[in-house]
Structure 1
Amino acid sequence: MWRLAGSLPALVAVIIVTFVLTRVLPGDTATYFAGPTASAESIAQIRAALGLDRPLPEQFWSYVQALARGDLGMSLTTGQPVLVDIMNRLPASAELTLFGLLIAMGIAIPLGVLAAVKQGSLADHLCRVVVTAGVSLPVFFTGLLLVYVFYYLLGWSPAPVGRLDAFASAPPFITGFYLVDAALARDWETWHSALAQIILPACTLGLFALAPIARITRASMLAVLGAEFIRTARASGLSSRTIILTYALRNALLPVVTTLGMVFSFLLGANVLVEKVFAWPGIGSYAVEALIASDGAPVQGFVLTMAILYVLLNLTIDLVNRALDPRARHS
Structure 2
Amino acid sequence: MGSFSLLRRVAGAIPSLIGVIIVTFLLSRALPGDPAVYFAGPAANAESVQQVRESLGLDKSWPEQFVRYVLDLAHGSLGNALTTGQPVLDDLVQRLPASMELTLCALLFAVVLAVPLGVLAAAKPDSLVDHLCRALVTVGAAFPTFFVALLFVYLFYYLLGWVPQPLGRLDEIYYSMPPTVTGFLLVDTLLAGDLEAFRGAAAQLVLPSISLGLFALAPIARMTRAAMLTALGSDFVRTARANGLSRRTVLFTYAFRNALLGIVNTMGMVFSFLLGSNVLIEQVFGWPGVGSYAVSAVIASDYAAVQGFILLMAVAYVLLNLAVDLVAGLIDPRVRFEG
Equivalent pair of 1:323/1:329 in contact (CA under 8 Å): no
Equivalenced residue count is 331
Q: Which residue of 2 aligns with 1:178?
A: 185
List alignment gaps of at least 5 residues for structure 2.
1-6
Q: Which residue of 2 aligns with 1:212?
A: 219
Taking only aligned residues, the RMSD between alpha carbons, in angstroms, comes to 1.1
Equivalent pair of 2:120/2:130 in contact (CA under 8 Å): yes
Q: Establish whether residue 144 from structure 1 lines up as the match of residue 150 from structure 2.
A: yes
> What is the TM-score of this pair, normalised by structure 2?
0.96
Equivalent pair of 1:109/1:217 in contact (CA under 8 Å): yes
Counterpart code for 1:222: L
SS state of the match for residue 328, structure 1? coil
1:144-172 deviation digits (Å, cap 9, x = unpaired) = 01101110111101010000013222111
How far is the alpha carbon of 1:29 from its aligned partner? 0.6
How far is the alpha carbon of 1:329 from its aligned partner? 5.4
Q: Which residue of 1 aligns with 2:268?
A: 261
Equivalent pair of 2:265/2:324 in contact (CA under 8 Å): yes
CA distance in 1, matches of 2:82, 2:124: 57
Q: Which residue of 1 aligns with 2:91?
A: 85
Which of 287, 296, 320 is the matching residue for 2:327? 320
Q: Establish whether residue 51 from structure 1 lines up as the match of residue 75 from structure 2.
A: no
Counterpart code for 2:131: H
1:214-239 deviation digits (Å, cap 9, x = unpaired) = 00000000000000110111111111
Q: Which residue of 1 aligns with 2:235?
A: 228
How far is the alpha carbon of 1:79 from its aligned partner? 1.0
CA distance in 2, matches of 1:229, 1:20: 53
Equivalent pair of 1:30/1:47 in contact (CA under 8 Å): yes
1:59-107 deviation digits (Å, cap 9, x = unpaired) = 1000000001110000111111101100000000000000000000000
Give percent identity, aligned residues only. 63
How far is the alpha carbon of 1:326 from its aligned partner? 2.4
Q: Which residue of 2 aligns with 1:111?
A: 117
CA distance in 2, matches of 1:236, 1:81: 64
How far is the alpha carbon of 1:294 from its aligned partner? 1.3
Equivalent pair of 2:31/2:298 in contact (CA under 8 Å): no
List alignment gaps of at least 5 residues for structure 1.
none
How far is the alpha carbon of 1:330 from its aligned partner? 11
1:227-260 deviation digits (Å, cap 9, x = unpaired) = 0110111111111011111111010011110000
Q: Which residue of 1 aligns with 2:176?
A: 169
Q: Which residue of 2 aligns with 1:248?
A: 255
CA distance in 2, matches of 1:328, 1:91: 31
Which of 11, 17, 31 is the matching residue for 1:11? 17
Counterpart code for 1:25: L
Q: Which residue of 2 aligns with 1:156?
A: 162
Counterpart code for 2:197: T
Q: Which residue of 1 aligns with 2:297?
A: 290
1:114-138 deviation digits (Å, cap 9, x = unpaired) = 0000001110001001100111000
Equivalent pair of 1:74/1:80 in contact (CA under 8 Å): yes
Equivalent pair of 1:178/1:194 in contact (CA under 8 Å): yes
Counterpart code for 1:140: F
Q: Which residue of 2 aligns with 1:21?
A: 27
Counterpart code for 2:335: A
Equivalent pair of 2:325/2:337 in contact (CA under 8 Å): no
CA distance in 2, matches of 1:95, 1:45: 41
1:20-50 deviation digits (Å, cap 9, x = unpaired) = 1111211001111212221111010000000
CA distance in 1, matches of 2:81, 2:204: 28
